[in-house]
Amino acid sequence: AQTVTQSQPEMSVQEAETVTLSCTYDTSESDYYLFWYKQPPSRQMILVIRQEAYKQQNATENRFSVNFQKAAKSFSLKISDSQLGDAAMYFCAYQNYGGATNKLIFGTGTLLAVQP
């Protein structure tokens, strides 16, 4: 069974600085997707960024980028120029590619605080 581990329960960053959130996963599959979701206090789950395992290039979305290390099964999220609105719980998630199992498997989350 696939698992997702986020080893940092809480992180803090100064406004305008850069922070990296860690995520590792375990799977025997070769094709899969990885995601970072953001959950602000409103509790809405917001997709931040996605990565297809077959793509070697790391995904980037504006100030958000990932460092995808397939061999190490590592998928970290880097937030550049942190803003107060980035404060939220961040979840790393895994999904199999194709097949009958489409569920997302989530990590336990990292609570990010942004200090002004």
Partner 1 sequence: DAGVIQSPRHEVTEMGQEVTLRCKPISGHDYLFWYRQTMMRGLELLIYFNNNVPIDDSGMPEDRFSAKMPNASFSTLKIQPSEPRDSAVYFCASSRAQGPPQFFGPGTRLTVL
Residues at the site binding partner 1, with contacts judged by CB under 8 A: 33, 35, 37, 42-47, 50, 91, 95, 97-98, 100-104, 106-109
Least Å distance between CB 79 and partner 1?
Answer: 19
Nearer to partner 1, 35 or 82 (CB): 35
**Token code pair at residue 56:** 């070697």
* Neighbouring residues of 111: CB distance < 8 A, sequence distance ≥ 6: 9, 10, 11, 88, 89, 90
Is 29 strand, coil or helix?
A: coil
Instruction: Tell me which residue has tokens 């395992």.
Output: 53
CB closer to partner 1, 99 vs 116: 99
| Minimum CB–partner distance for residue 17 and partner 1 (Å) | 28
Q: Which is nearer to partner 1, 14 or 108 (CB)?
A: 108
Q: Which is nearer to partner 1, 48 or 79 (CB)?
A: 48
Least separation in angstroms between CB 100 and partner 1: 6
Q: Which residues neighbour 114 within 8 Å (Cβ) at sequence distance 6 or greater?
A: 12, 13, 14, 15, 82, 83, 84, 86, 87
